[in-house]
Amino acid sequence: MAAKTRRYSARDMAVLVIGLGVAIVVNVGVIWGPALASIGLSGTDWSGIGPIEWVGGQNYHDLAAEYPPFWSAVRNNVLWLGFLALVATPFGLFCAVLLDRRLRMSRFYQSALYMPVVLSLAVVGFIAQLVYSSDYGVLNSVTGLSVDWLGDSSINIWVVMVAAAWRHVGYVMVIYLAGLKAVDPALKEAAAIDGASERQAFFRVVFPTLRPVNVIVLVITVIEALRAFDIVYAINRGRNGLELLSVLVTENIVGEASRIGFGSAIAVILLAISVGFIATYLSQMFREER
Amino acid sequence: MDQRLPISRRHLLLGAAATFGVPAVLAGCGSDSPAPGPGGNLGTVTIGSNASDEIPKRTLETVVKGFTQATTRINTVDHNTFQENINRYLRGTPEDVFTWFAGYRMQFFAEQGLAVDISDVWQEIGADYTQAFKDQSTGVDGKQYFVPFSYYPWAVFYRKSLWEENGYEVPATLDELTALARRMQGDDIIPIAFADKDGWPAMGTFDILNMRLNGYDFHISLMQGKQSWTDPKVRQVFDTWRGLMEFHQPAALGRTWQEAAQSLAQKQTGMYVLGMFVAQQFPEADRDDLDFFTFPEINPAYGTDSIDAPIDGYMISAKARNVEGAKALLKHFAQASSQNVATELDPGTLAASSKADTSGYSALQKRGAELVSQATHIAQFLDRDTRPDFASTVMIPSLQSFVSEPDEIESLLASIEQQKANIFR
């Protein structure tokens, strides 16, 4: 078979062209095209009207050196990722493990934890305002504090991340719960018979079998952290301590501001960060398959 | 960035729209509502409107109904979406006539050749407007591009009953204002209501302090990027503001203007620097208790000769298909009778025409008209007097950072100046 050259019939060719061609056109048209256009525009000073003027790396210099919201946005995106990955996700796993033990009323807990997931993050943003507002918020009136949770730029990112995590925990919990149900009980039994403690059984036996689920959860967490936008936009349009890269892109490009070149430069930075994660993830996957 | 109205829900919509890339199809997503009319000899005139709130929308429909020389069709688009997409809108397939703002915001687009020169219309309607209104309708080339329709002044609002109870008097100078604020603090009232969560209300305070200290001409030239932000005069504005900070309602960055207005209505705060739309937050019964005074004098050289009073009106797009009909419609908008219809339906605004009948005004509207007629210079508000990109991406974050750290003036001004140089190049 190996020596024989494969021949394609006209029909095969047609199928190939349609099957592959459409995918390539769509891929280039909606993914690579705009991405490359953004990179190109990021080197210009285009306002959306009038001529496009090449300014080289000027936009990058301006945003790194003279645009204060940029660094707080980078910091916030990193914080967001760290918080979801190190606090919210493990907590979701913890909840899943507890619920998997068939506690009394576990259905109730399960629903309660999952409820926020059906809300859009923008709605979570509105709920967060009802809770955190310094004048009429639930938190201040219950505790008697008078903290400006959303207005103080040194704390608002933390309370907003708690609100975002509220939703993320439920999401992660459900995925892990499904994974845990699929773990063969015989494995746990075998571990118990071999004298493993609960903790050992979980970390040495159950958790490693959850590997495929872990990968999915990791990807979801990274995506959630990089695309975060709606919750801060709903709260204060992503300003004053709640800057995120996605918000800065929108603020500069979509708004009346029309600093398309400058906004594209921020978008390119966001792209570079995303590509970093995606490349690491993919290379990891391919290495293991080999 | 022109949110004079309660629009947190709009922000959400806008965010959603932005996420899905919807704004690009602005022209197609409005709702067409043909206004009934007999149809005159000038064909059809189309109107692109940002009057998406109920009252302004009904107002426009009513006013247009009175126009008989041509058939009209109104395309209403969400207020903020309209604004955010104005660039693309005017270069795409705009309607003949569109709603817009006076001043630099208008000049910016006129300069790009996106609006039609209507100096001939002004020869007819000129007598109905004061010079200040005409100036705000004039492009940098000296021609007119805009017809003013309505406006509202910014001032210091207070509740008469609270002031009478405590025997407070309207301050005429900064020292009197400070003394009054101290007295209020003694009476356990927060002197000045303040909110800047939305980013723009603090601009009103900056504007008025700058105009009182340095005069209208300096203010406008600063807005146009011709003055340095590190100028000692600008520094003095922030210094003065910092001096007043102790009288401002704390935690302003977490509060919306609506909440601050509520605190004024509930007599927790003594006064509030805002536009006349503050009345929206007052229950019907309390509206008569609302009064205002113009921000007190600081520099005797300028007295109280300038105020912020943003003007809304109409322009003709360069791509208009029916310019004759559009001009006739603008003349209709300029008529006092049209504007009277509007001020009656919408008590938060005043008629721009000096011929308008003010006898139907509420007490507050009357006082507003009086205030504006006394002003020599009318500014349009920071985000309308400067480049939109400068206002939204530089001034909003900068003023918010000043509000949270009023002592960091030096580095803040240096940063504004650097960013200004990148934008005004």
- Sheet order of strands, B350-351 included: B31-35, B71-76, B44-49, B97-101, B311-316, B147-151, B350-351
What is the C-alpha to C-alpha distance for residues A191 and A185, in angstroms, rounded to an integer?
A: 10
Instruction: Check pLDDT > 80 for residue A275.
Output: yes
Q: Considering only the beta carbons, identify the residue of B11, B251, B388 that sits closest to A234.
A: B11
Chain B within 8 Å of A259 (Cβ-Cβ)? Answer: yes
Helix runs in B269-424, H state only: 323-334, 336-345, 363-374, 382-385, 388-390, 396-404, 409-423
Which B residues 288-327 touch A at CB under 8 Å?
none
Q: Considering only the beta carbons, identify the residue of A146, A152, A259 that sits closest to B393.
A: A259
What is the C-alpha to C-alpha distance for residues A207 and B127, in angstroms, rounded to an integer?
A: 82
- Whether B8-151+311-365 shares its CATH topology with B154-308+387-423 is answered yes
What is the C-alpha to C-alpha distance for residues A280 and A23, in angstroms, rounded to an integer?
A: 24
Instruction: Check pLDDT > 80 for residue B26.
Output: no
B254 and A49 within 8 Å at the Cβ level: the answer is no
Instruction: Check pLDDT > 60 for residue B267.
Output: yes
What is the C-alpha to C-alpha distance for residues A103 and B260, in angstroms, rounded to an integer?
A: 48
Residue B234's pLDDT band, with cuts at 50, 70 and 90, is: very high
Domains of chain A (ranges, CATH numbers)? 71-237 (1.10.3720.10)
Single-letter amino acid code for the residue at A193: I
Quickly count helices (H) and strands (E) in chain B: 19, 13
Cβ atoms within 10 Å, residue B32: 9
What is the C-alpha to C-alpha distance for residues B240 and A100, in angstroms, rounded to an integer?
A: 62
CA proximity to A198, closest of A97, A66, A126: A97
Single-letter amino acid code for the residue at B352: A
Total count of residues recorded for chain A:
290
Q: Give the pLDDT score at B33.
A: 45
The C-alpha of A266 sits at a distance from chain B's nearest C-alpha, in angstroms, of 13
Q: Give the pLDDT score at B34.
A: 46
The C-alpha of B42 sits at a distance from chain A's nearest C-alpha, in angstroms, of 32
What is the C-alpha to C-alpha distance for residues B197 and B202, in angstroms, rounded to an integer?
A: 9
Q: Give the pLDDT score at A287.
A: 77
- Return mean pLDDT, chain B: 86
| Antiparallel, parallel or unpaired: β B71-76 and B290-293 | unpaired
Residues of B in contact with A259 (CB under 8 A): 389, 393, 423
What is the C-alpha to C-alpha distance for residues B423 and B418, in angstroms, rounded to an integer?
A: 9
User: Of A21-30, A190-199, B112-121, B158-167, which gets the smallest average pLDDT?
Assistant: A190-199
Total count of residues recorded for chain B:
425
CB B261 within 8 A of CB B274: yes
Cβ atoms within 10 Å, residue B230: 14
Residues of B in contact with A133 (CB under 8 A): 254-255, 259
Query: Between helices A245-253 and A68-83, what is the axis angle to 10°?
Result: 140
Which residues is B351 bridged to in the sheet? Answer: B150
- pLDDT tens for B178-212 read 999 999 999 999 999 999 988 899 999 999 999 99
Instruction: Check pLDDT > 50 for residue B408.
Output: yes
Share of chain A above pLDDT 90, in %: 34
Element (H, E) at A109: helix A106-114
Average of pLDDT values for B369-378? 87
Q: Give the pLDDT score at A289.
A: 62
Q: Dihedral of the CA atoms A206, A208, A210, A211 (nearest 10)?
A: 180
Q: Give the pLDDT score at B40.
A: 62
Q: Is B100 helix (H, G, I), strand (E, B) or coil?
A: strand
Residue B288's pLDDT band, with cuts at 50, 70 and 90, is: confident
Q: Give the pLDDT score at A290.
A: 58
- pLDDT tens for A239-268 read 888 999 999 998 888 777 678 899 999 999
CA B29 to chain centre: 26
Rg of chain B taking only CA atoms, in angstroms: 21
A146 and B251 within 8 Å at the Cβ level: the answer is yes
What is the C-alpha to C-alpha distance for residues B341 and B197, in angstroms, rounded to an integer?
A: 34
CA proximity to B369, closest of B354, B379, B382, B385: B354
Q: Give the pLDDT score at A184.
A: 87
What is the C-alpha to C-alpha distance for residues B262 and B256, in angstroms, rounded to an integer?
A: 10
The C-alpha of A74 sits at a distance from chain B's nearest C-alpha, in angstroms, of 16
CA angle at B120 for the pair B117 and B125, rounded to the nearest 5°: 115
Average of pLDDT values for B131-137? 87
Q: Give the pLDDT score at B1.
A: 42
Cβ atoms within 10 Å, residue A16: 11
What is the C-alpha to C-alpha distance for residues B60 and B63, in angstroms, rounded to an integer?
A: 5
Q: Considering only the beta carbons, identify the residue of B19, B253, B396 that sits closest to A229.
A: B19
pTM of the model: 0.80
How many A×B Cβ pairs under 8 Å?
A: 123
Please spell the DSSP secondary structure of B150-216, one letter per residue: EE--EEEEEEHHHHHHHT-----BHHHHHHHHHHHHHTT-EEEE---TTSSHHHHHHHHHHHHHHHH
What CATH number belongs to B8-151+311-365?
A: 3.40.190.10
Query: Which chain A residue shows the shortest CA-CA distance from B249?
Result: A135
Average of pLDDT values for B33-59? 75
What is the C-alpha to C-alpha distance for residues A23 and B153, in angstroms, rounded to an integer?
A: 57
Q: What tokens appear for B22 in the block?
A: 């919807």
Chain A within 8 Å of B393 (Cβ-Cβ)? Answer: yes
What is the C-alpha to C-alpha distance for residues B169 and B177, in angstroms, rounded to an integer?
A: 9
Residue B175's pLDDT band, with cuts at 50, 70 and 90, is: very high
Backbone angles phi, psi at B99, to 5 degrees: -75, 140
User: Of A46-55, B223-232, B362-371, which gets the smallest average pLDDT?
Assistant: A46-55
B253 and A240 within 8 Å at the Cβ level: the answer is yes
Residues of A in contact with B84 (CB under 8 A): 254-256
Q: Give the pLDDT score at A60.
A: 92
Q: Where are the domains of chain B?
A: 8-151+311-365, 154-308+387-423
Instruction: Check pLDDT > 50 for residue B35.
Output: no
Chain B within 8 Å of A49 (Cβ-Cβ)? Answer: yes
Cβ atoms within 10 Å, residue A112: 11
User: Could you tell me the CATH superfamily of domain B154-308+387-423?
Assistant: Periplasmic binding protein-like II (3.40.190.10)
Which residues is B97 bridged to in the sheet? Answer: B47, B316
Matching residue, tokens 């500014």 = B379
A48 and B397 within 8 Å at the Cβ level: the answer is no
B87 and A156 within 8 Å at the Cβ level: the answer is no
Q: Is B381 helix (H, G, I), strand (E, B) or coil?
A: coil
- Return mean pLDDT, chain A: 87
Q: Give the pLDDT score at A277.
A: 83
Is the model more confident about B66 or about B36?
A: B66
A135 and B263 within 8 Å at the Cβ level: the answer is yes
Instruction: Check pLDDT > 60 for residue B27.
Output: no
Q: Considering only the beta carbons, identify the residue of A48, A152, A230 that sits closest to B15.
A: A230
CA proximity to B30, closest of B73, B91, B87, B70: B73
In chain B, what is the straight-line distance between the N-terminal and C-terminal CA atoms, in Å?
A: 21
CA proximity to B266, closest of B185, B192, B159, B341: B159
B397 and A135 within 8 Å at the Cβ level: the answer is no
Q: Where are the beta strands (DSSP E) in B199-277?
A: 269-275
Element (H, E) at B49: strand B44-49
CA proximity to B70, closest of B319, B283, B324, B260: B324
Q: Give the pLDDT score at B423.
A: 87
Chain A within 8 Å of B389 (Cβ-Cβ)? Answer: yes
Is the model more confident about B417 or about A53?
A: B417
CB B371 within 8 A of CB B378: no
Chain B within 8 Å of A229 (Cβ-Cβ)? Answer: yes
Is the model more confident about A50 or about B99?
A: B99
Best of A254, A260, A264 to substitute, by most chain B Cβ atoms within 10 angstroms, is A254
Q: Dihedral of the CA atoms A224, A227, A233, A236 (nearest 10)?
A: 70
CB A145 within 8 A of CB A139: yes
- Farthest CA pair distance, chain A: 82
Residues of A in contact with B199 (CB under 8 A): 236-237, 239-240
The C-alpha of B8 sits at a distance from chain A's nearest C-alpha, in angstroms, of 7
Q: Give the pLDDT score at B407.
A: 93
Which B residues 4-43 touch A at CB under 8 Å?
8, 11-12, 15-16, 18-19, 23
The C-alpha of B90 sits at a distance from chain A's nearest C-alpha, in angstroms, of 10
